[in-house]
Amino acid sequence: MASLNLPENSLSVLTHRYLLRDDHGKVNETPEQLFRRVAKNISLADKSYGQDPKTAEQEFYKIMSTLDFMPNSPTLMNAGNKLQQLAACFVLPVEDSMSDIYDSIKHTALIHQSGGGTGFNFSHLRPKNDLVHSTKGVASGPVSFMKVFNASTEVIKQGGKRRGANMGILNVDHPDIMEFITCKEDEVSVNNFNLSVALTDTFMQAVKKKADYDLLNPRYGKPVGKLNAREVFDKIVDGAWRNGEPGIIFIDRINKYNPTPKVGRLESTNPCGEQPLLPYESCNLGSINLSNMVKTGKIDFDHLGKVTWAAVHFLDNVIDMNNFPLKQIEDNTKANRKIGMGVMGFADMLIKLGIPYNSEKGVKTALQVMKFVRDEGKKASTELAKVRGNFTNYDKSVFPEKGIKHMRNATVTTIAPTGTISMIANASSGIEPFFSLVFRKNVLEKEGLLYVNELFEEIAKSRGFYSKELMEKVADSGSIQKIEEIPADVREVFVTSHDISPEWHVKMQAAFQKYTDNAVSKTINFPNSATKEDIENAYMLAYDQDCKGLTVYRDGSRSIQVIDIGKKKKEVLEETPKKMRERKNTVQGITNKVGTGCGSLYVTINEDEEGPLEVFARLGRSGGCAATQTEAIGRLISLAMQTGIRTEQIVAQLEGIRCPAPCWQPEGLVLSCPDAIAKAIKKKIGASSEEVVQDVATLSEFMNGKKKPKGNVVGVCPDCSGPLIHEEGCSKCHNCGFSKCG
């Protein structure tokens, strides 16, 4: 078997996250074998329709091994394996009874365990303080139950690969809407949820008129109060400005394009908002690599068409080969057969065509490409239906195309987050612009290696302005727009996220939405200086341009932003230990409660006249390895304190240690139990609150204007401690390939 000539990044991500391992954790699969495994497994569906799977197997292997197409992560991970759960997106109902609520929590756990993400609309739950007839008590409301779902998600690890992700939606006319809008201000209570408010056309018109609108009790659907639409809208804008939450979806517009309205109304989406689904419905996704669809400076539509047809065939087969986590999901999915074929590498395509992202020509290219993909995808679905039959709930009166008598899939196209699959394909993420052209990457013991965008490096060398010093300068600035050593025509084309105004971001999303059956996952970027009015204008533009929703992110708006711009060394204070201090029978101290990824940690710090003397650290839940380790840490800290080690030195050793489950707290990000203990000690001794994080610059440096971010950095990667970038409505690490969305 000939070896695949894959880029280093592709090999790294495949090895770290996708290749099969033996019982000892050793990789026992090559990339070629992975693509063969997936192609062979997915092609087997052809047998059911009297077709030869060998033909499909070769076709599927080719489009993956050439990096022309990549399915979603669950398919790559699980096809041909025991788990065989291949879908990425699920929506579950949340009905207004205790048994239904906890059924949904149980079903959520099963889906997360199998590698999927879940979406919910909590609008059927009666509002807070409403009457509960069965107990004669009062209801606690949707937000309280969201916290229960959040807690369940916290302890479920998806297929051993990634943590569960959720979308929580509440209709704007629910009586608890104001509590919902503000429930994520602390960034802790529902940290495993993306939140979106479902806005109706009636509400949007009321916003424009600054009029009141009705709040409806879901128990009987009648008005129970009014709110001013403008005030509610302003509160949504305020939350988005503060930390990007909540997002918005235009629920009436989503249902305008519902392909099965007689089956049910669309009320929720998957975690990143691009896939509206009915309750107990799933969808599998895949993306075509547009970077590979340019030849000699022109779009190769012939090749793009062939890959599109093969991708539709592949994704339809996935439905038949899928091992669904619930029977209800299998039944509904097979009745509608929704697939979500999207694209990635669009920014690469524009660069190869010499077209700026933020230009009318860029938008025109988006319309041209997505219309072609949508049209060819529909044709491929029609031809499949002639052999395999229409999807069960097909209603020809719903489809706008005249004369169509056959359709295999209720939906064909979706622009989804590409996460790690774009790294495998060596392509830019989805339809996003580049987040950076040059950044520092940490690989094993080699820290701060420069990673230069291949297209930028190629043109820099061919035009004669490449140098390591210049690349360092680009890495530090995050943009090339003010670097005069770079030719103006190059600067015009090589734009990054923050070089592009929000208006162009929205226009690009609208262009792709026009020819996308489902919706579009994209982040609308704002500089830190953006005003609330800027956010409002983007929302209104998105509504007027027929988008189905919008996700915004104002740079630096999270409580801690980690910037990958070098390493700040911790100062180690050397001092000769003093004589062991004696502990009196009675000492005084305080106990701090700190939230961690392992639960609540109670840190007791006792002191004598010389200062801190001993530390006791106890997790809220008893027993287990974590509890014994925190006890051991406390004993060692106490020993260090009593032998004269300076408290600042102890803090320096503990602070910044990371575990796979960092936890947001009102005072900032707690990276681990040791980090929590360090924070508690610093609080006790009144030390400087400056956050020192290995391999990244500090928040204080950023806030003081000394350092600039290079992308929408929202946190720390739980795998490699690199920066998590917010793009495509998701969080992704460009250092190691970690993605919350696959």
Q: What is the 3-state secondary structure (H, E, C) of 273-312?
A: CCCEECCCEEEEEEEEEHHHHEECCEECHHHHHHHHHHHH
**Catalytic choice (150, 171, 192, 270):** 270
Phi/psi of residue 472, each to 5°? -60, -40
Residue 73 counted as domain residue = yes
One domain for residues 489 and 602: no
Does residue 470 carry a pLDDT above 50?
yes
Does residue 712 carry a pLDDT above 70?
no
pLDDT of residue 592: 84
Give the residue among 218, 513, 576 at the shortest CA–CA distance from 371. Answer: 513
Residues 382/306/9/275 CA torsion (nearest 10 deg): -20
The answer to whether 83 and 270 are in contact (CB under 8 A) is no
Give the residue among 78, 84, 75, 42 at the shortest CA–CA distance from 60. Answer: 42
| pLDDT grade for 157, boundaries at 50, 70 and 90 | low
Q: What is the mean pLDDT of residues 412-426?
A: 94
Q: Report the C-alpha gap between 316 and 408 in whole angstroms.
A: 8
More confident residue, 627 or 341: 341
Report the chain's mean pLDDT, rounded to a whole number.
87
272 is catalytic: yes
Does residue 707 carry a pLDDT above 60?
no
Helical residues (DSSP H) of 546-694, grouped into ranges:
624-642, 647-654, 673-685
pLDDT of residue 186: 72
Pairing state of beta strands 298-299 and 117-121?
A: unpaired
One domain for residues 71 and 94: no
**Catalytic choice (272, 598, 733, 736):** 272
One domain for residues 109 and 199: yes
- Estimate to the nearest angstrom the gap between the alpha carbon of 277 and the chain centroid: 18
Residue 386 counted as domain residue = yes
| pLDDT grade for 47, boundaries at 50, 70 and 90 | very high
Residue 621 counted as domain residue = yes
| pLDDT grade for 572, boundaries at 50, 70 and 90 | very low
Q: What is the identity of the amino acid at 582?
A: E
Q: Report the C-alpha gap between 712 and 364 in whole angstroms.
A: 26
In this structure, of 133-137, 411-415, 626-630, 690-694, the range with the lowest mean pLDDT score is 690-694
Q: Report the C-alpha gap between 550 and 603 in whole angstroms.
A: 42
Q: Report the C-alpha gap between 516 and 530 in whole angstroms.
A: 30
pTM of the complete model: 0.82
Q: What is the mean pLDDT of residues 130-146?
A: 87
More confident residue, 593 or 535: 535
Give the residue among 725, 190, 84 at the shortest CA–CA distance from 439. Answer: 725
| pLDDT grade for 698, boundaries at 50, 70 and 90 | very low
274 is catalytic: yes
Helical residues (DSSP H) of 294-445, grouped into ranges:
301-321, 327-336, 346-353, 360-388, 419-424
Residue 375 region by backbone torsions, left for phi larger than 0, else alpha for psi between -120 and 50, else beta: alpha
Strand partners, 415: 520
One domain for residues 220 and 124: yes
Q: What is the mean pLDDT of residues 466-483?
A: 93
Q: Report the C-alpha gap between 573 and 342 in whole angstroms.
A: 54
Residue 430 counted as domain residue = no
Domain boundary among 424, 458, 478: 424
The answer to whether 181 and 172 are in contact (CB under 8 A) is no
**Catalytic choice (59, 267, 274, 614):** 274
Strand partners, 715: 724
Q: What is the mean pLDDT of residues 153-174?
A: 78
One domain for residues 144 and 250: yes
One domain for residues 145 and 211: yes
| pLDDT grade for 154, boundaries at 50, 70 and 90 | confident
Does residue 299 carry a pLDDT above 60?
yes
| pLDDT grade for 718, boundaries at 50, 70 and 90 | low
pLDDT of residue 447: 52
| pLDDT grade for 170, boundaries at 50, 70 and 90 | very high
Q: Which helix (H) or strand (E) holds 727?
A: strand 723-727
pLDDT of residue 400: 64
The percent of residues in the chain predicted with pLDDT above 90, rounded, is: 63
| pLDDT grade for 565, boundaries at 50, 70 and 90 | very low
For the chain, the domain total comes to 4
pLDDT of residue 76: 96
Q: Which two structure tokens, joined as six digits, stand for 560?
A: 């801690």
Q: Give, in order, the Cα–Cα distances in Å from 159 to each of 74, 86, 91, 113, 280.
A: 9, 12, 18, 5, 20
One domain for residues 181 and 127: yes
Does residue 576 carry a pLDDT above 70?
no
More confident residue, 595 or 376: 376
Residue 278 counted as domain residue = no
Q: Which two structure tokens, joined as six digits, stand for 510?
A: 């609208």
Q: What is the mean pLDDT of residues 647-655?
A: 82
Does residue 705 carry a pLDDT above 60?
no
Contacts of 553 (CB under 8 A, 6+ apart): 244, 523, 524, 525, 526, 712, 714, 726
Question: Residue 675 burial (CB < 10 Å; 0-12/13-18/19+)?
Answer: buried
Q: What is the mean pLDDT of residues 108-129?
A: 94
Residue 733 counted as domain residue = no
One domain for residues 136 and 216: yes
pLDDT of residue 126: 96
Q: What is the CATH number of the domain that holds 217?
A: 3.20.70.20
Quote the domain boundaries for residue 366.
8-86+284-424
Does residue 179 carry a pLDDT above 90?
yes
Tens-digit pLDDT profile for residues 210-238: 999 999 999 999 999 999 999 999 999 99
The answer to whether 408 and 390 are in contact (CB under 8 A) is yes
Helical residues (DSSP H) of 115-200, grouped into ranges:
142-154, 177-182
Does residue 692 carry a pLDDT above 60?
no
One domain for residues 310 and 402: yes
pLDDT of residue 695: 29
The answer to whether 117 and 88 are in contact (CB under 8 A) is yes
Domain boundary among 424, 450, 481: 424
In this structure, of 512-526, 663-677, 708-722, the range with the lowest mean pLDDT score is 708-722
Residue 660: asked if its preceding bond is cis (omega within 30°), the reply is no
Q: Which helix (H) or strand (E) holds 596?
A: strand 588-596
The answer to whether 281 and 83 are in contact (CB under 8 A) is no
In this structure, of 364-368, 473-477, 721-725, the range with the lowest mean pLDDT score is 721-725
pLDDT of residue 656: 74
The percent of residues in the chain predicted with pLDDT above 70, rounded, is: 87
One domain for residues 257 and 298: no
Three-state DSSP class for residue 590: strand
One domain for residues 353 and 254: no
Tens-digit pLDDT profile for residues 579-622: 677 778 788 888 888 888 777 888 899 988 788 888 888 886 55
One domain for residues 289 and 356: yes
598 is catalytic: no
| pLDDT grade for 403, boundaries at 50, 70 and 90 | low
pLDDT of residue 739: 74
Tens-digit pLDDT profile for residues 50-77: 999 999 999 999 999 999 999 999 999 9
pLDDT of residue 690: 35
Question: Residue 97 burial (CB < 10 Å; 0-12/13-18/19+)?
Answer: exposed
In this structure, of 154-168, 408-422, 666-680, the range with the lowest mean pLDDT score is 154-168
Does residue 242 carry a pLDDT above 60?
yes
Q: Give, in order, the Cα–Cα distances in Å from 590 to each of 336, 616, 617, 654, 673.
A: 60, 10, 12, 20, 18
Domain boundary among 379, 398, 424: 424
Residue 598 counted as domain residue = yes
Q: Which two structure tokens, joined as six digits, stand for 285?
A: 């996704």
pLDDT of residue 120: 98
Residue 732 counted as domain residue = no
Tens-digit pLDDT profile for residues 345-375: 999 999 999 999 999 999 999 999 999 999 9
Does residue 520 carry a pLDDT above 80?
yes
